[in-house]
A and B are shown apart, each in its own frame.
Chain A
Amino acid sequence: MTDSKYFTTTKKGEIFELKAELNSDKKEKKKEAVKKVIASMTVGKDVSALFPDVVNCMQTDNLELKKLVYLYLMNYAKSQPDMAIMAVNTFVKDCEDPNPLIRALAVRTMGCIRVDKITEYLCEPLRKCLKDEDPYVRKTAAVCVAKLHDINAQLVEDQGFLDTLKDLISDSNPMVVANAVAALSEIAESHPNSNLLDLNPQTINKLLTALNECTEWGQIFILDCLANYTPRDDRESQSICERVTPRLSHANSAVVLSAVKVLMKFMEMLPKDLDYYGTLLKKLAPPLVTLLSAEPELQYVALRNINLIVQRRPEILKHEMKVFFVKYNDPIYVKLEKLDIMIRLASQANIAQVLAELKEYATEVDVDFVRKAVRAIGRCAIKVEQSAERCVSTLLDLIQTKVNYVVQEAIVVIKDIFRKYPNKYESVIATLCENLDSLDEPEARAAMIWIVGEYAERIDNADELLESFLEGFHDESTQVQLQLLTAIVKLFLKKPTETQELVQQVLSLATQDSDNPDLRDRGYIYWRLLSTDPVAAKEVVLAEKPLISEETDLIEPTLLEELICHIGTLASVYHKPPSAFVEGSRGVQHKRLPGSAGSGDSVDSPDTASAAGVSEAPPAVIPSQGDLLGDLLNLDLTPPTATGPPPAPSSGLQMGAMDLLGGGLDSLLGGDLGGSPALGAGFGAPPAAMPASFNAPVSGGLDDLFDLGGGVGMPMGSYSPPKTVWLPAMKAKGLEISGTFARRAGVIQMEMTLTNKAMSVMTDFAIQFNRNSFGLAPAGPLQILTPLSPNQSIEAALPLSTVGPVMKMEPLTNLQVAVKNNIDVFYFSCQYPISMLFVEDGKMERQVFLATWKDIPNDNESQFQIKDCHLNSDAASNKLQGSNVFTIAKRTVEGQDMLYQSMKLTNGIWVLAELRVQTGNPNYTVSLKCRAPEVSQCVFQSYEAMLKN
């Protein structure tokens, strides 16, 4: 019986016919019809109109038919949610079926139907299936939890499925464990911070036990999960490694690579002097080499990963160069990757062999491969100095072949060789010049022009050569135009007499006839330089360039570390972090390698350790436009020398560069703003808004400040406490600051006395606050206009606003301040009385007061005693009123005056107080009620201070 006939029904009225067949009484006919429906569905025809008819076939004891109907349901349920409900009963019934295969089938299918109403019905059956007696059902149910989580994460959490899933990790059946691990890992990915996969030594032990028993796929799930664990110490790390190493002999490459991932990661924690560390390194090489005997697609994935491993730990494969020699029948993608790894492994010891191979490759048929081989020869020259001469002569041989693309590639790499070894191989320039006419690719033309410009003094007809390029100036690509401009300027500076006309021509072409802003700008710069100061121009344009370093295509170290944690996955194939190609939150968390173990060699960082393996110093990663530093003007002329692999050309590099820039910019900006806050204010931005922008950088430095404002419950004047020394001269290179806070006419003021106890004049004062509990911030710059001479004091009042950034401080009224002058930046902290923050309209209506008092829970009430206060209630009331503490009512009960008071803080918090004054008793009782009880203590301290002064 053949099923292919189902693919050929293309008649009109087909749907109608199918409908009739589906409703047929004959079972055989029904089944035939369903098969036709599935075939149509496969080729993309819309058969959703048959939904009710197909679902009617669901009630059957024929398993094959049932599966087909389920397949249909999974495809169309989403588009017909109402009708999908019809299927629910069957599912629920099937979940109770005595046959475990049917129970599992039902729960598996139900999870694939993404209709809310069905999902609700799924919960109960799923719960049962998770505890089913049959492991086949349990392992299916475990995956179903992940499905359900994908549809409705909240539901899964509410129903407690996650806990059940966690329990399954201890299941007796290894496959159930593996699927539970897979499901939990997936769910954990979308909750980066949850401790879902609570990995602890006990669970790890369970996983390692299951590892020996479950299917190859299960082993992969478990190993991938293990890789996320960070062992507590090197001993644990070693014991896990020991139990994972046998997996390296598995026939399934994925098991092997996942095991390699775990080992590569955990190895970071092992002390390098440990015998086991060396053993492990040795054990890693053979399986990696064996991967190269696998099918080509797997070889490709393996090679992309080996590329990473070789960068991280070159010692593993340093003797295995030969296995990367390409074979005649390797697919092109394998050949290209092998070539990359050959370059990475090239060293003085094996360079002769490598070069011989590369020379062979350069004569192959595939253009991309040949190009890459030619570039590789250039990279060898740059990497292994001893081989440079042979590389150059090989390249010259290749140029002699006159094969167009070979010549062009060779010229591009020779330019880099010139940069690396100046004044060594310039004798070949003549040969290069012979091929000038055959160059038609921008990169090669630009490289050639650079060479001509750079060595203009040695090329007799340099002007003619460059002039020939100039004819079609406007048809050239920007790269070539820019290079030509620079080269001609170089030529002019070297041979000014004969080339004046040429330089004028190119400058006018660049500045007047070009629409390209880069070209125009560069033209103008040169023009101005040349016209104002030719000597300076010479210094700038002909400045000595730094040598290029050996490796221009290494993956940036932090990215490499992350990719090592993703060995075997797509990220390692693309050489990009998952966030670069995965949508949404999944897998976006950045993984990091664990730090090396502290025992014995905490100094030895993994980086230096791995570099130590290669006798050479760690290769510096330079941005691909390495020339940028040396020849600013050549900014984008010298193209990156990296020959990225086809799928992800040098993207890693770009990302690294971005990181670098981001970090650099931040610290630059931070440093600047922190250093001279006055600068920021000087721009005339709204003063209140300014602090926010440059407060953050300061905070870091303030964290571990000595606590100066120690005098907490300080005695108070009528409105403000007396000045205290905030910043002693000893700690601030002679600047002493004492000060206090006051509230004058509704404005909070910071009143300071600055004394210069140093020997030199101080100027350029500026002040900055760290974020604080009530958002205090300078409302304007610190006004100290005259320089502060030695032994002079100056009074300064700084108005404060309360709209700055807020961060809760401990104690609440702590304020961290940075003061800058021409000498340095100094930090101190002080405390302000909270009464500064009581606003003028803090009087509450009586009714409101009563209601609020009742409304605030009693838990929030706190009582304090104020001792030795000899005021009567009226005097106290008056005194407090001056500080914006308003008495709303007064009651006298049994010789005790009860004052009900209210105050409001700048941030809108109301504080209600009951002050009990008993005549003749110097001790007052204050009860404070506030919705934010943490302010009570401060308010009480202020009460005490206000009443006693």
Chain B
Amino acid sequence: MIGGLFIYNHKGEVLISRVYRDDIGRNAVDAFRVNVIHARQQVRSPVTNIARTSFFHVKRSNIWLAAVTKQNVNATMVFEFLYKMCDVMAAYFGKISEENVKNNFVLIYELLDEILDFGYPQNSETGALKTFITQQGIKSQHHTKEEQSQITSQVTGQIGWRREGIKYRRNELFLDVLESVNLLMSPQGQVLSAHVSGRVVMKSYLSGMPECKFGMNDKIVIDKQSRASSEDGGKSGKQSIAIDDCTFHQCVRLSKFDSERSISFIPPDGDYELMRYRTTKDIILPFRVIPLVREVGRTKLEVKVVIKSNFKSSLLAQKIEVRIPTPLNTSGVQLICMKGKAKYKASENAIVWKIKRMAGMKESQVSAEIELLPTNDKKKWTRPPISMNFETAIKPEPTAQTRPTTDLQPRTRTTQPRTRPHRPPAQNQTTQPRTRPTQTSSPEPEPHSPEPDPHRPPAQNQNHTAQNQTHTDLQPRTRTTQPRTRHTQTCSPEPEPHSPESDPHRPPAQNQNHTAQNQTHTDLQPRTRTSSS
């Protein structure tokens, strides 16, 4: 099990050190600093073994968290614990920074004492922890006996994530569906792999111990139902999604899901992620981003980026922002764009192109001439992807595509609200292309190039990688008429200076291959309001 837990700042100074096991000595603190934090080369593995001691680390901003052990521990558990530890700390004091850690070190020690005993993780649900680990330094008498046993039974109980006796005047439940689409395209534009990973994030403000049920238009369930109701003519308008896999928050009764495919749970209070899912069927890209990169000599680069909106022309994308990374040795950029505004931001090493709104089935482009400083820097440019963000306002057509039976039944003595929130169609996922154009070979000379450099390396294959990411936020609010969607899309061209040679009269030939990879985040946010009757 975990033998010790250390927190360091970026310099490697230890901020928190808690040792749980006798086999971990003070020297372990230094071993990690010297071998990992101060190590010159990039860290090649999150697990390091130094002198038969294993170190697991994660980084949050510039803070290092390291768990140490000499035994054959469950490595997955250790990482899960470190993340959890970060969540708990964030829930108590916000961002994990050196400042915050130092300011709350007493609290952190108290937490570490509670959530890790002899290296075994204990209940680490913030909801429960906050009932008895507070920053006020409460005196023990303050709790009555009933309160005490209530705390302990909650900490150890079956529903460790929720305390009893929560009361709200208004019972509310908010549900966001956030989706991101991952897509890998071959240079020929063929989709190699695509999947949507979705998260259902909830905010619940419900009284008592509400028993909730959540339904999905999951293919297995829908098929079962339509088979059962086939006599009614089984409306074909009902669309279902084949979900490849899903994982649930620990409040969901897994055995019930396994047997009945029903998601039933007693929710934690406040924010939490109810489930994640993954699906690989019917993925449509909202935008296509086509980068064209041409190298003109060693000091010049021509970039053209075309975006095509791929959704219904009745829809409108708003606040589009395309970010095109530029090489580190860029000295100046000249930009022309058909629509919107484009600016070169030297501090961010990128061209930022903003378009206020764009309808579906349209296209627009930006072209840039990038001046480069001659450099002999051997470090290659990593060619980050082009990224894109946008919002879309779409009309939800919820009734057609969602299961109308999402029952939320907070069971309390006083209230018995019942809602039927409409979930927008999950297949509104949008896609985003990661483009990886490759190979531009141009052995031709460049007419206006300066004196040929005898030491120049031979012509190089040009490789471009473009990566597109789209974030789509669909926010159909049940009470509002016009839900809005935000999309983010990223894509990247990576120009690399190529060297032209000889023949002054021919323009550089180009043949570009593209591999595109798209990522889209679609956020579906049906906000449901349950009011107490």
Contact = CB atoms under 8 A, between A and B. Distances in A.
A271 interface: no
Contact of A246 (B20, B77, B192, B255): B255
Interface stretch (A11-19, A197-205, A320-328, A595-603): A320-328
B505 interface: no
A290 B278 contact: yes
Interface string B51-87: 0101010100000000001111111110111110000
Interface stretch (A248-256, A868-876, A926-934): A248-256
B258 interface: yes
Given A4-B99, A108-B117, A251 B248 contact: yes
A290 B458 CA distance: 44
B186 interface: yes
A312 interface: no
Given A254-B74, A302-B76, A135 B141 contact: no
Interface residues of B, number: 118
What band does the interface of chain A fall in when counting residues whose beta carbon is under 8 Å from B?
35 or more
Given A64-B110, A298-B80, A224 B74 contact: yes
Given A3-B102, A99-B143, A186 B70 contact: no
Contact of B152 (A136, A212, A216): A136
Contacts of B103: 2-4
A64 B137 contact: yes
A89 to B, nearest CB: 18
B380 A63 contact: no
Contacts of A296: 46
B349 interface: no
Interface stretch (A545-553, A569-577, A617-625): A569-577
Contacts of B15: 7, 42
A221 B117 CA distance: 13
A332 B44 contact: yes
Interface string B180-213: 0010101000001101010000000000000000
A215 B123 contact: yes
A39 B123 CA distance: 26
B163 to A, nearest CB: 14
Interface in B439-462: 457-458, 460-461
A250 B487 CA distance: 29
A253 B254 CA distance: 14
Contacts of B21: 150
Interface in A50-85: 61-65, 67-68, 70-71, 75
Interface stretch (B153-161, B168-176, B285-293, B415-423): B153-161
Given A174-B158, A365-B382, A566-B72, A254 B247 contact: no
A943 interface: no
Nearest to B112: A71
Nearest to B382: A365
Contact of A286 (B58, B117, B244): B244
A325 B193 contact: yes
Contacts of A287: 245, 247
Contact of B197 (A212, A293, A646): A293
Interface stretch (A578-586, A605-613, A659-667): A578-586
B18 to A, nearest CB: 8
A357 B72 CA distance: 35
Interface in A284-336: 286-287, 289-290, 293, 295-298, 300-302, 322-323, 325, 327-329, 332-333, 336
A855 B102 CA distance: 76
B224 interface: no
B109 A587 contact: no
B254 A250 contact: yes
Nearest to B110: A67
Interface stretch (A140-148, A160-168, A491-499, A886-894): A140-148
Given A101-B151, A134-B149, A249-B254, A333 B140 contact: no
A139 B44 contact: no
A137 B157 CA distance: 13
B432 interface: no
A923 interface: no
A649 to B, nearest CB: 12
B14 interface: yes
Contacts of B275: 251
A45 B21 CA distance: 20
A573 B120 contact: no
A139 B154 CA distance: 13
Contacts of A249: 245-248, 252, 254, 257-258
Contacts of B77: 217, 220, 254, 258, 568
Interface string B454-479: 00011011010101000000000000
B109 A71 contact: yes
A402 interface: yes
A350 to B, nearest CB: 11
A43 B113 contact: no
Nearest to A261: B74
Contacts of A328: 384-385, 434, 465, 467, 492, 517
Contact of B72 (A246, A289, A569): A569
A513 interface: no
Contacts of A300: 45-47
Given A4-B102, A363-B463, A333 B74 contact: no
A245 B258 contact: yes
Interface string A105-145: 00010011010000000000000000000111101100110
A653 interface: no
Given A213-B158, A402-B458, A570 B73 contact: yes
B341 interface: no
Given A215-B250, A245-B258, A253-B76, A100 B148 contact: yes
A768 to B, nearest CB: 44
Contacts of A451: none
B343 to A, nearest CB: 24
Interface in B98-149: 99, 102-106, 109-110, 113, 117-118, 120-125, 132, 137-141, 143, 145, 148-149
B522 interface: no
Contacts of B222: none
B193 A333 contact: no
A253 B80 contact: yes
A186 B1 contact: yes
Nearest to B253: A212
A390 interface: no
Nearest to B54: A570
A212 B255 contact: yes
B126 to A, nearest CB: 13
Given A101-B152, A401-B461, A646-B45, A293 B276 contact: yes
Contacts of B46: 296-297, 300, 333
B257 A246 contact: yes
B75 A111 contact: no
B461 A290 contact: no
Contacts of A224: 74
B45 A38 contact: no
B436 interface: yes
Contacts of B195: 323
Please give me the 10 A-B residue pairs with the lowest Cβ-Cβ distance, nearest first: A286-B245, A322-B193, A136-B152, A4-B102, A64-B137, A246-B258, A254-B76, A254-B77, A246-B254, A578-B72
Interface of B: 1, 13-23, 26, 29, 42-49, 52, 54, 56, 58, 69-77, 79-83, 99, 102-106, 109-110, 113, 117-118, 120-125, 132, 137-141, 143, 145, 148-149, 151-153, 155-158, 160, 182, 184, 186, 192-193, 195, 197, 244-250, 252-255, 257-258, 273, 275-276, 278, 380-385, 434, 436, 438, 457-458, 460-461, 463, 465, 467, 492, 515, 517
Given A215-B123, A365-B381, A570-B73, 13 more contacts: A35-B106, A97-B140, A139-B156, A175-B160, A182-B120, A212-B255, A216-B80, A251-B248, A295-B58, A301-B79, A325-B193, A356-B186, A568-B76
7 contacts: A4-B99, A4-B103, A101-B151, A249-B246, A253-B80, A329-B385, A356-B186
